[in-house]
């Protein structure tokens, strides 16, 4: 994953912010990364990845750290599966679960395609 990819979808925390937090504050425990914008305190999906970044930044081994490097799309899809399987509950305001094509669903948006909305804006 790239530095600007979101790691904590519940609180919209990108990898760059987490990596910089670890580099600057040098937390003694992986759980202290929660002080970085609340990362890891929502649904819990990102906790193994936070542990992974802790290991990479501090060098201490941590049980339960993620080992896989995922694409942002695969990461979002696996988070959706985790939550759908009862793994956690995202707080209000979290990034929506991905839709069938792997794109985030936006239940608050209804009716019409994006093209329809864009053309209606131009006519105003």
Over residues 54-98, the pLDDT tens digits come to: 999 987 777 788 877 889 899 889 899 999 898 889 999 898 888
Binned at pLDDT 50, 70 and 90, residue 100 comes out as: low
**Domain segments of the chain: what residues?**
1-124
> Residue 103: is its pLDDT beyond 80?
no
Q: Which whole number is the average pLDDT over 3-8?
A: 94
Closest by Cα among 23, 82, 5 to 47: 82
Percent of the chain with pLDDT over 90: 45
For position 63, what pLDDT does the model report?
A: 77
CA 63, 75, 101: angle at the middle one, nearest 5? 155
Local structure of residue 69 (DSSP, 8 states): -
Alpha helices by DSSP H, the chain: 15-25, 47-58, 72-84, 114-122
């Amino acid at each position: 994953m790239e530095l600007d990819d979101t790691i904590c979808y519940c609180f919209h925390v990108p990898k760059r912010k987490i990596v910089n937090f670890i580099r600057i504050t040098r937390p003694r425990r992986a759980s202290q990364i929660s002080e970085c914008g609340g990362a890891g305190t929502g649904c819990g999906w990102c906790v193994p990845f936070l542990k992974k970044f802790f290991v990479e930044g501090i060098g201490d081994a941590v049980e339960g750290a993620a080992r896989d490097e995922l694409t942002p799309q695969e990461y979002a899809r696996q988070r959706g599966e985790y939550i759908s399987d009862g793994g956690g509950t995202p707080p209000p305001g979290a990034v929506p679960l991905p839709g069938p094509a792997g794109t985030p669903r936006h239940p608050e948006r209804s009716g019409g395609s994006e093209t329809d909305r864009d053309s209606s804006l131009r006519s105003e």
